Every structure is written in C-alpha cells, then in structure tokens.
Amino acid sequence: MKKKIAVILGDGIGPEVTKQSIKVIDTIAKYYNHEFTYEHALMGACAIDATGNPLPDETLTICKQSDAILFGAIGDPKYDNDPTAKVRPEQGLLKLRKELQLFANIRPVTTYKALQHLTPLKPKYLENVDFVIYRELTGGIYFGAKSLSEDGTVAKDDCSYSVMEIQRIAHLAFKHAQNRRKRLTLIDKANVLETSRLWRKVIQSVAQEYKNVVVDFLFVDNAAMQIILNPAQFDVILTENLFGDILSDEASVLAGSLGLLPSASVGNSVALFEPIHGSYPQAKGKDIANPLGSILSAAMMMEHFGLAKEGIIVKEAAAWCLNNGFVTKDIDPINSYTTTAIGDLICEFIERHAKGETHPIHERLHKSTII
C-alpha cells in the first residue's frame, strides 16, 4: 500500500511525540511492505510566528492533497495567557476542521490494569471499561456567531445545529455500535436546550435504521457522573461538540494519563489523527512526554487505511510497554523512560513480531531487563 501523509508537528511537545509515531509508521512500512511518504506543514503558534497565520494556505493545500494527516499539538503560553490576542493557535485547528469537514471526532477510551493505581477510581470501577466517544466537531457553540457589547459587559456565543449535521455523525456512530456491543448513548441537555431536543429527535429517527442497536439517552450532567460511577456501562457515546470536548477529557482520567489517549477526526475526505493531550509547553524539548497517545493515533490511522493487522500490532506493542513498566514520567516519575526510548521499544516489538520472535518473561530489550 502507498499512502501520502501530511505531518503537522505543531507546538510544545507536538514535534517530539509525532516523530515517534513516524518512526513507528516507518517500521510498519518496512516489515509489512507498505510505502508511506510525508509532507510537513505548519499550524498553530509556530505558524503564527513564521507567517502570521495559524493555518497558512500552503498547509491547507498539503492536507487536502494527502491521504491522512498526522498531527501533534498546538498552543503556547504567550497566547494562552493573553485574552486580548486576536490571532490564536486554536483558530488554525478550528479552521482546518471546518475546511476539511472533519465533522466526527472519535476517541476510544481503554483502561489498563497496570495503570489502575494512577486513576482516582477504585479498581473495581475500571474493570471491562472499553467505550468510544463520537463527538460532533464542526458545529455547535464553537462555530456559532460571537458578539460582545460595546461596553464589554455582555457576551454571546450562539449554538446551532442542523438535521444534516446530526444525521451524518449519527450514522457513523450507529455503524460502529453495530460492530461492538450494539449499544449507543446520546448525551444531551434536552430538558433545557432546543439544540439538544433536535439532537434527540434526529437520533430517534436514525435509530429506526439500526434496529439491533439499543439506544439510551442521558442528560450531560448525569452522564458526567455516570462516567465516574460506572464507566463500564458505556459502549458508544454520541454527543455534540462542547459536551464531547468536556466528557472526553473527563474520560481520559480513567486510563491513568492524558498522554495515553488517541483520536481520529473524520469527515468527507481526508482524516486527521492526533493524541488528545495539549502542547504541554513545560515539557518541551526535555524528551519526557508520553508518545503513546500519538502512537496509538497512528494505529487508528492504520485501521482507517484498512490495515487492521498493522493497527492491532501497534496497540499490542503499546499495551506490552505499559504492562512491563516501560513508561514515561507522567506514569512513573521515578522509574521512567524517555519519549525516544518508548518509541524505540514500540518499534522493536513490531520488528520482533514481524520476524516471528517471542517476548520471553526474562529478556534483555533496549538496555532494560523484564523480570
């Protein structure tokens, strides 16, 4: 298989974690007979610094001409701490989503027994947690009209959704649910918001086409509580932009580290793959950031390309690292490995697997011994 990948390293730790993903993708290409080529582009604070534009036209062109986009992170303290800034890194990502019509953000949430001690929940609540959040990504309050009164005392952010916007992500979520445990939960605030009532009406209609999927409805405040009280009850969660943004970050706590969770943003053409974490500027250049969220995003890219076997082996490699204590500082501050070392370990696992070699309990790997 031949694929062209647009690479947006972004800001902060974005370049460091994304470079590990590229290393993993190249290893997959080497041992599974694929050819992946890359074209780099700017977006975010680095793009503002270089061009004055958070999403240069050249970047948009490169993305449109690619088969997929591998993205790091955006954000910089000089913009985060300046509420008066007219041009901001996040504007680039929002515009990219809109221009490419990346209307569905898909975030799998998986827990690992080896990391249960890092979460605020008791282990019994983390058993069998495996769900996916489908977040609508190009509508809602983030893209609505915004206004501020002349005296600066009243601000408005409009939230709007159309039937078409809801239907297109609903079909993706229902189809995914059919291939999982056949349960879908719509999260809304239909007791208060008109947009939520439209969501509920549309989902009830679309559900008639998926008779084998059980549909539940939860208000967002209750859903936030249920994700903590009983996260194993969920299979596929479907929700609008703002609620999905908040709930997916809440759900990341279940995994033990924000650095572990991947995501895909899909739409009508090219898809984008990125870890859910931010740019983490405090760790920039220190080789301590967790690359697994980015590497698992690359696994989702493989699956998007139809390379299911390759995606599975990357995920198995990540789980193997976690289960054997090969982790970064966010997971174990004392016995930690560098960003680069984790990338090397993933690649070595893939290489061994491709060659048919096993991983015995006692072995020497990357200058580390598993006991």
Catalytic sites, residue numbers? 142, 189, 221, 245, 249
Beta bridge partners of 182: none
Asked if 273 and 70 count as a contact pair (C-beta separation under 8 A), the reply is yes
Distance between CA atoms of residues 306 and 175, nearest Å: 16
Helix (H) or strand (E) holding 120: none
Angle at 245 between CA 242 and CA 247, to 5 degrees: 105
Distance between CA atoms of residues 125 and 46, nearest Å: 41
Radius of gyration of the chain (CA): 21
Sign of torsion, CA 15 250 111 183?
A: negative
Exposure class string for 97-134: b at 16+ Cβ within 10 A, else e: bbebebbbbbbbbbbbebbbebbebeeebbeebebbbb
Distance between CA atoms of residues 175 and 177, nearest Å: 5
Distance separating the N- and C-terminal Cα atoms of the chain:
39
Helix crossing, 163-178 with 194-206: angle to 10°?
A: 50
Instruction: Give, in order, the Cα–Cα distances in Å from 304 to each of 52, 95, 181.
Output: 33, 23, 20
Amino acid in the structure at residue 304 = H
Asked if 344 and 25 count as a contact pair (C-beta separation under 8 A), the reply is no
In the chain, where do the E strands start and end? 2-10, 35-40, 68-73, 104-110, 130-136, 146-148, 155-157, 183-188, 214-219, 236-239, 262-266, 271-275, 363-365, 368-370
Spatial neighbors of 204 by CB under 8 A, at least 6 apart, are 215
